[in-house]
Structure 1
């Protein structure tokens, strides 16, 4: 059956994206904890007993587990943005000492990349020049031009917010929610795929970290079995590094969207296209100031048919 537009949007939101970003990580975490309980935690573990319990589950019990996981994922979904903020380094004031410590580490990483990105001396080989160029590109993608955040993910996302569309006068924080709806289908698909990857790896980081803590607590009295907590901890580290790379890729896509579709936004706003980059920067800065702070702006409209082909 062919879905109409509202039904398809609902399916993409609550079927595809929710299943990938919300349900699967929650399901993996809940199932891991259930296996530990079925194996006898806290106490002596017997994974044969856990397997026996799992295969003996009836259809009603399986449906109950699936429903419980689905409800848990749905309850956690509104907290997803807050999870991202925590991974970015948005921590409470009592954790200020940790934020300062982590920020110093990010400054050292920034300094190493900045040194590697310096122009090679005369007589440098092509390999040296290529390495410096790669370091420079990574420096721009991973770090904002000012005020470093405590975490690598926070700096990668801040770099995107600071640089996407900036050369055209756009403030990505206020312009992106307005640009995204006018993207063509190909651009939007690419943006959505990379955003889903970012959200999935971020959710896996949080889920695996919580699972590591819970596993350590359940197995604290199980001698060497407590080392099982290292498995979700290793997964959390791997997922976090993947989230940083996903944030860099997402930032590249958002920047490309500004490059290719910024004039589409002006057409949808019924504003005239600028004659040159200087005029574009001035006009876009006024628009962003109006959206961000409500500053009065005298807009001159140009009502023409909008090309919806994308």
Structure 2
């Protein structure tokens, strides 16, 4: 048995143990980081100007066995880097969310970033109000000409019905652009938290808005119940949730790895003139993956909302809580249940233990 075969067997064995999640989320970012570092080292970028001819000569002088050996070493190095980065996943996510500590410099940066996002939200709200006022004013003007009456003299319900009817008419088509812009703004504003809960990053705001919204129609706190749902939900729902989480984790790790690669390039090429522009390659990739990360986070929380919708009664039964008769009673019960799950001692919850002949609610029953 050769050394290269032993390395391959070892890498395969470890890969089989860590599973599919690590093979995707761990190996792909680690492989890029190892290859990027190998290119910087092989081109002598860490000692001076990158020597591309030297890099080309090194690659052209390799034999098939050399390529196989190098590939195995790269895979082994990627495995090691991936294993090192794996326990840092939570910290990387928190970093991109905007949890940067409570030190003096951190507070200054947090205040600057949060103020910027709050101003952006205020601008969006003002723009939305302006669009709706322009649309309402234009429709009222058409209604005034049609009925020879001032729509402001009508009650709110009647005026809204006539506005909707006028918008659906041929004359109201001129306001379709305003309506489309309003709908787009509504989607953006919905993905942001309220002003008092603003985070310093776009990812943090998307997750914070979802945390404040998901499950609230039932009185459930998604943070307090996430682990509980992972134990009681139907397996196919959990598989769907796991796929969404894996996509989110992959984009987070890729973003951080590209930032690390940017720092490596800046460190090696800082004194090499125009070569420093090569650092823009991983930086651009980090920007793209960050935008993808924001989208993946929204998708993950949307899947989480669906899991809660379909499995909340199974959660109640698992906690031996009486099933609610209607949505009002459900919110009232969950208000106390959430306090209890938050480890508060004062809330009082009435339990209902199932009898032996009572069948359990199947997971996924809404």
- Normalised to the residue count of structure 1, the TM-score between the two structures is 0.88
Q: RMSD in angstroms over aligned alpha carbons?
A: 2.4
1:306 aligns with 2:318: no
Shift of 1:134: 3.1
Preserved contact between residue 268 and residue 306 of structure 1 (Cα < 8 Å) = no
Other-structure match for 1:111? 122
Query: What are the within-5 Å matches in structure 2 for residues 183-194 of structure 1?
Result: 183-194=233-244
Other-structure match for 1:133? 183
Distance 1:169 1:261 in 2: 14
Distance 2:363 2:189 in 1: 36
Distance 1:264 1:146, change over 3 A: farther
Greater Cα shift, 136-145 or 164-173: 136-145
Preserved contact between residue 237 and residue 307 of structure 2 (Cα < 8 Å) = yes
- Alignment partner of 2:283 out of 233, 242, 247: 233
Distance 1:44 1:106 in 2: 41
Other-structure match for 1:81? 90
Distance 1:29 1:250, change over 3 A: same
Other-structure match for 2:54? 49
Distance 1:144 1:262, change over 3 A: farther
- Normalised to the residue count of structure 2, the TM-score between the two structures is 0.75
Preserved contact between residue 322 and residue 350 of structure 2 (Cα < 8 Å) = no
1:28 aligns with 2:37: no
Other-structure match for 2:77? 68
Unaligned runs of 5+ in 1: 1-9
Unaligned runs of 5+ in 2: 1-13, 140-166, 168-174
Distance 1:287 1:11 in 2: 42
Other-structure match for 2:42? 38
Distance 2:277 2:70 in 1: 30
Distance 1:12 1:140 in 2: 42
- Alignment partner of 1:18 out of 11, 15, 22: 22
Please say which structure displays the higher CA radius of gyration: 2
Greater Cα shift, 255-264 or 170-179: 255-264
- Alignment partner of 1:95 out of 106, 114, 137: 106
Preserved contact between residue 27 and residue 69 of structure 1 (Cα < 8 Å) = yes
Shift of 1:291: 1.2
Other-structure match for 1:4? none
Deviations 1:1-24 (A, max 9, x none): xxxxxxxxx999922211221221
